[in-house]
């Protein structure tokens, strides 16, 4: 379903609660032709679950600034955005007091300020000549192995072999170098809430030497967990394995 019609009474305020939250990228409110310029406004308040650092309101191609609701007369799209973790809701006005604003209100949610998600730039370096084992603390920053809940990065130029039977459950794993499941005599399980093969490679076996045992990738999380944005317009939600680098699996 792309839309629905709901009757409301002008001059009232409505709290619309979404059981699983409203994790929208865009939402359009279309006024019926029955609206008159003299009709009272309707004020809506609704929740959302995930982080929305910017919520933009647009009428007739013109953006309405945030936090414009006043105690008196308002116009279509006037709004109040509360995106702190404890609240996460939006309040906005619907009316036809200003004909130039039209009858359509477009609401767009962005994960990052001003709709710009700064994931940084990966500085790609030449792959190291040797290799490193995941199980060796010397191969990690601070000489500390990745632990449960960590954001783990396989840095550009690293040639890392995953040589343990099961990893802790990571918050995220970003691969900018090369991560290879060690092809030995034991099975391997990789656990993470999300995995991003970004500027690197994730390799399990080869065409000439398929993985001998069982390779398992487990994505953890719940429906209402924080989502992940690759760009301001491309959100891949949670429990995801995203690949914009290279993946190859043979078994």
Same domain? For 77 and 142 the reply is no
Q: How far apart are CA 91 and CA 95, in angstroms?
A: 14
Distance CA 54, CA 24 (A): 12
Q: Which of 129, 151, 149 is nearest to 140 (CA)?
A: 151
- Residue 88 forms part of a structural domain: yes
7 occurs within a structural domain: no
Q: Which of 61, 90, 115 is the last residue of a domain?
A: 115
For residue 117, the model assigns a pLDDT of 56
Sign of CA dihedral 144, 147, 151, 156: positive
Whole-number Å distance between alpha carbons of 137 and 157: 18
pTM of this prediction exceeds 0.85: no
242 and 138 assigned to the same domain: yes
CATH, residue 35: 2.60.40
Task: Kindly report, residue by residue over 172-196, the tens digit of the pLDDT.
Answer: 999 999 999 999 999 999 999 999 9
> Quick one: pLDDT at residue 236?
64
The whole domain housing 52 covers 13-115
Q: What is the pLDDT of residue 55?
A: 83
Contact (Cβ atoms closer than 8 angstroms) between residue 127 and residue 69: no
Of 25 and 96, more confident: 96
Residue 104 confidence (pLDDT) above 80: yes
**Interatomic CA distance for residues 17 and 9, integer angstroms:** 18
- Per-residue pLDDT at 114: 45
Question: Is 46 among the domain residues?
Answer: yes
> Coil, strand or helix: which one is 29?
strand
Domain count, the chain: 2
Same domain, 31 and 110: yes
CA dist 38 → 51, 57, 64, 159, 165 (Å): 37, 22, 21, 69, 69
1-27 tens-digit pLDDT: 566 777 889 999 999 887 766 666 788
Residue 158 and residue 106 in one domain: no
Q: What average pLDDT does the chain have?
A: 86
């Amino acid at each position: 379903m792309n839309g629905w019609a709901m009757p409301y009474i002008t001059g009232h305020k409505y709290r619309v609660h979404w059981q699983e939250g409203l994790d929208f990228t865009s939402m359009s409110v279309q006024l019926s032709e029955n609206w008159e310029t003299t009709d009272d406004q309707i004020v809506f308040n609704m929740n959302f679950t995930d982080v929305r650092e910017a919520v933009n309101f647009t009428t007739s191609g013109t953006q309405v600034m945030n936090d414009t609701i006043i105690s008196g007369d308002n116009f279509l799209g006037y709004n109040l955005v509360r995106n702190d973790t404890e609240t996460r809701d939006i309040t906005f006005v619907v009316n036809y007091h200003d004909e130039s604003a039209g009858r359509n209100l477009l609401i767009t949610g962005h994960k990052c300020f001003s709709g710009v998600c700064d994931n940084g730039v990966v500085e790609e370096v030449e792959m190291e000549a040797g290799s490193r084992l995941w199980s060796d603390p010397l191969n990690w920053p601070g000489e500390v192995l990745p632990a449960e809940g960590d954001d783990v990065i396989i840095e550009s130029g690293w040639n890392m072999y995953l040589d343990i039977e099961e990893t802790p459950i990571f918050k995220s794993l970003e691969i900018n170098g090369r991560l290879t499941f060690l092809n030995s005599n034991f099975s391997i399980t990789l656990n993470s809430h999300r995995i991003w093969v970004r500027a690197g490679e994730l390799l399990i076996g080869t065409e000439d030497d398929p993985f001998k045992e069982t390779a398992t990738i487990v994505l953890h999380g719940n429906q209402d967990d924080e989502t992940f944005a690759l760009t301001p317009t491309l959100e891949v939600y949670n429990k995801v394995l995203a690949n914009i680098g290279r993946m190859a699996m043979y078994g």
